[in-house]
Copies of this chain bind each other. A is one copy, B any other.
Amino acid sequence: MVGEMDSDKQDVPFFTKLFTLAQILGILSIVLIGVWGGVFRGGFAWTSDPALQFNWHPFLMVFGMVFLYANGALIYRGFRFEKKKKLKLLHMLTMLGAFVCSVVGLVAVFDSHNYAKPNPIPNMYSLHSWMGLATVLLFCFQWVSGLVTFLLPGLRPSVRSAYLPVHQFFGLFIFVSGIATALVGITEKTFFTMMKTYSNLPPEAILINFSGITLILFGAIVVYLATNPKFRRLTTEDEVLLTDTVLE
């Protein structure tokens, strides 16, 4: 098994198995976070009910910054036998979708604080909020830099290939930060709502803890798939340099 992984040729069946496992864990995370808001926390609403509007926040952040983001990052590997131009466009569009979800998720939390009854809830004081805002701002900067460098014409190939490892490193840093922020946020919300009952481990608490564990497993597999050079696109050396493989 380990020997297999160490061999030089691309291991497509192994990639497919891990990729499938990652998708299952990713979808499971979304379902668990959805059940948390939908079943245990009263369901979803928009400005009509600020407390229920909040529930969109964890759901959209996990769907956007974790699940869609991971799929955007893995596009060069999941579809590595496709044309590079097509993959670049798909990468950019998936990341745009991830970003839009995140922004709507941020609107949800700010609205739920600002319109809370009887008094507004303060914003941007917790470690979670600092981590989250920094991560989304970095993501925004990363998306624009990627667009300008790799998709718009004009920059020399030498500039593109020099920026690529930076783009890849920050890409994974933003992803891991997003998951860490989610874990901190899950804990924060749990202490707001279940301070007295968390330690009895009622069903909601178990669901919360498992949603954290699935997020971590999802993150670990995605980072593995994104960094293992065996799973990179098969193409000319130059193309590999311009499209693929983090951290090497």
Name the residue of chain B whose CB is nearest to the CB of A7.
B162
Name the residue of chain B whose CB is nearest to the CB of A173.
B220
B131–A183 touching, CB < 8 Å: yes
B180–A6 touching, CB < 8 Å: no
A201–B125 touching, CB < 8 Å: yes
B6–A209 touching, CB < 8 Å: no
A127's partner among B5, B130, B187, B192 (CB-CB below 8 A) is: B187
Distance to closest chain B CB from A116 (angstroms): 12
Please, how many angstroms separate the alpha-carbon atoms of A65 and B121 in the complex? 35
Distance to closest chain B CB from A4 (angstroms): 9
A198–B247 touching, CB < 8 Å: no
Please, how many angstroms separate the alpha-carbon atoms of A200 and B6 in the complex? 53
Decide if A126 is an interface residue (CB 8 Å cutoff). Answer: yes
Distance to closest chain B CB from A187 (angstroms): 5
Please, how many angstroms separate the alpha-carbon atoms of A227 and B191 in the complex? 36
Decide if A166 is an interface residue (CB 8 Å cutoff). Answer: yes
Decide if A143 is an interface residue (CB 8 Å cutoff). Answer: no
Name the residue of chain B whose CB is nearest to the CB of A163.
B2
Interchain residue pairs A-B with the least CB separation, the first 3: A248-B248, A191-B191, A122-B199
B209–A130 touching, CB < 8 Å: yes
Q: Mark A109-132, 1 if CB is under 8 A from B, else 0.
A: 000000000000110011110110
Decide if A154 is an interface residue (CB 8 Å cutoff). Answer: no
What are 6 A-B pairs at a CB distance below 8 A? Answer: A3-B158, A183-B184, A187-B188, A227-B247, A227-B248, A246-B247
Decide if A14 is an interface residue (CB 8 Å cutoff). Answer: no
Decide if A89 is an interface residue (CB 8 Å cutoff). Answer: no
Decide if A161 is an interface residue (CB 8 Å cutoff). Answer: yes
Given A180-B180, A229-B248, A248-B248, A208 contacting B127 (CB threshold 8 A): yes
Given A125-B201, A130-B209, A224-B169, A183 contacting B186 (CB threshold 8 A): no
Known A6-B162, A180-B180, A187-B188; 11 more pairs at CB < 8 Å = A126-B187, A126-B190, A127-B186, A131-B183, A131-B212, A169-B224, A180-B216, A183-B183, A184-B187, A188-B191, A247-B247
Decide if A165 is an interface residue (CB 8 Å cutoff). Answer: yes
B198–A195 touching, CB < 8 Å: no
